[in-house]
Amino acid sequence: MPVQFVYGNKDFIKDVRVNTDNIAVLAYESRFDSAIQAGWTDRMERGVLRYLLTDLQTRILPGPCGFVAQLNVKRGMERRKPQEILSIQQNFNATQFNFNNVNPDEVVFEMIKESEEIGHQPYKTVVLVNVSPLEFGHCLFVPDPARCFPQVLTRLAIQVGIESVLLSSDPAFRVGFNSLGAFASVNHLHLHGYYLKHQLNIESMPVRPLLPEKGFYTLLGFPAGFLFYTESEGVKDVASVISRVTDFLMEAAVAHNVFMTRGCPPREEDDKLLRRGVRIAVWPRVACFGTKEESALNVALCELAGHLPFKNQTDYELATESHVVEIIQHYLFPHEEFLQLEKQLTQQLMMM
């Protein structure tokens, strides 16, 4: 019987802020962080992971984007071969690898959200170690795996992702999602969570308000995308808004990546060191189909957020901001198409 991590809204950490070095100004580790980190470390020490992850060679690329480049050769060499993806709306296939087939030792715990409404069943998310980790604590959050959801975001999955960030007292904890066609490797609904102890521009990037009453903004930095913001009291509402957006993208066959992190409020007058809320970036992007390529840099949730895991020493050492921008730009919508999508999404959300 897996260990259960039971939580409620009372467990959300609301008093997080960072100093200018992006170090959390907080004197304790949350119950969630303790469970994730202890469980992940235990599995690494017991050899459940495919390789021993030590401190990764890291450098910040010079330039305004502040890209965090890391060298992770073993992930590129030893990770499971990605599935062949032919459509953003591809059905779940029980004959392919899925998270119901994992080694039981990979299960860290089951997350159970206490129901606040009489008669409602608590929802369950299974947390697994990623056996080919990107960074320390890299886990997969799999909502009710026995229901065999394909890799399509649901409102509850979005809510679990945001709540996981709020349960952590460490602003280094990030959560993300790759749709099919956006470098998702497995067609079974899951999100990634991991710790990256380096500041990312997305945490404080300026925005342009679209529907601020619904927490909906456009990012004004690179790469172009949409931003949502919520604090603990508004999680359910903003998860519904984001779900409407990702549903629209699915229906339009638009691939997308999502990244959730502690971030400052989007209002310019607010303290840029505050991290009491969550920023959720959604990037519509050009789809990639077939078996996922094994290039030096695949553009998925990490890369769009500014975290660059490189697979070989040469590309890591020679990488420049201008070259990375050129690679990422190849996967983004042209400016006019992005503005048209922005208009369509704004109209959709105004009707909610």
Instruction: Indicate the length of the chain as a whole number.
Output: 352
DSSP string, 41-90: HHHHHTT-SSS---PPEEEEPSSTT--EEEE-HHHHHHSPPPPEE--TTP
CA distances from 2 to 85, 124, 159, 206, 243 (A): 31, 12, 22, 42, 29
C-beta separation of 219 from 227 below 8 A: yes
Q: Is the dihedral of CA 336, 337, 338, 339 positive or negative?
A: positive
User: Quick count: other Cβ atoms within 10 Å of Cβ 93?
Assistant: 13
The candidate with the shortest Cα–Cα distance to 334, out of 184, 224, 212, is: 224
**What secondary structure letter does DSSP report for 319?**
-
Beta bridge partners of 310: 71
Q: Which tokens in the block code for residue 178?
A: 């790759």
Q: Which tokens in the block code for residue 264?
A: 């400052």
Is 307 tagged catalytic?
no
Q: Which residues of 4-19 are buried (b: 16+ CB within 10 A; e: fewer)?
A: ebebeeebbbeebbbe
CA–CA separation, 73 and 56 (whole Å):
10
CA–CA separation, 20 and 273 (whole Å):
7
Catalytic residue among 120, 138, 188, 190: 190
Catalytic residue IDs: 190
